[in-house]
Amino acid sequence: MYPILVKFGELTLHTYGVLLAGGFLLAVFLASREAHRTGIDPNLLLDLSFYLLLAALLGSRLFYVLGNWPEFAANPIDVIKFWRGGLVFYGGLIFAFFIGVWYVRKHQLNFPKMADLLAPSIAIGQALGRLGCFSAGCCYGKPATGFCAVTFRDANSLAPLGIPLHPTQLYESAATFGIFLALIFMRRAKRFQGQLFWYYLLFYSMVRFIIEFYRGDPRGWAIPNVLSTAQAIGIPVALLALFMILRKKSPLNLAKKH
C-alpha cells in the first residue's frame, strides 16, 4: 500500500526493506531470549542468525530470478534490487537449512534443539516480512470481491492498480503469526527435540499450499496454471514433516527415549 516509507532526495527508504529488517531483528531477539532459557550461548546464535540471513536472502532471490528470468534478462542490474520485492521463501529456506547444518556441525551443536529454538522466530519473522510484501504490492492476489478485497493505488506499487485483489500477503502474515502462537504454546509440552521445527514445516506448507490458489502474481509453475512451484515443493516438505512427527511419536521411539 505504501511502497516508499520516506524519501530524502536521491535516498529512498522502502517500506518492504524496513519491515523485512524488522522481522529479522524481532526473530533474533526472541531466539536470543530462548537461547538464554535453554542454556545455548547467545553469541553462537547471533553468528548463526547472520549466516542464515545471508543464505536466506541469496537463496530466495536466486529462486525468484531463475523462475522469472525473462523479466531480468534485459536489465540484469535489477537482480540486486530485492527491496522492490521478489523473494521465494522456499529458496531461502533451502539455502538457510544447509548453512545451518554446516554451522551446527562446525560448532558441535544439537541440530534438532537449535531448529526448535529458531522455528517460532522464523514464523514471526515471516509474519512481519509479509506485511512488507503488502506494502510493496508484490505477491499480490487474484481479483476479488467482498470485504476482504484490497485495491492498490500507489503508482510505485508492484500490484495492478485500481483492481480489487485478494490480500494474499495479509492472509499469509496472519497465518504465520498463528503458527508462531501455536509453536509457542506447543513448546511447553514438547515431547522430542525437533518437534517444533517439523510442526512449523507441516503447518507452513499446508497454509502456503492453500494461499497459492489465491495468488495472482507471475511466478514459477511446476504444472502451468495447475500447481505452482511453491506447492510442488510444499507437498514433499509436508509429507517429510508428517513422517518425522509420526515416527518420533511412535511407541517404539518413545520406548527408546526412556
Q: What are phi and psi of 249, to 5 degrees?
A: -90, -5
pLDDT of residue 94: 87
Distance in angstroms (rounded) separating the CA atoms of residues 65 and 143 = 25
The parts of the chain modelled with pLDDT lower than 50 are 250-258
Distance CA(33)–CA(105), nearest Å, equals 23
Q: What is the pLDDT of residue 140?
A: 94
Question: What's the pTM?
Answer: 0.87
* DSSP-derived 3-state class of residue 14: strand
pLDDT at 216: 93
Are 24 and 125 spatial neighbours (Cβ–Cβ below 8 Å)?
yes
Nearest to 119 by CA among 180, 163, 177: 180
- In 137-228, which ranges are continuous DSSP H helix? 168-187, 195-212
Predicted pLDDT at 82:
64
Q: What pLDDT was estimated at residue 86? A: 65
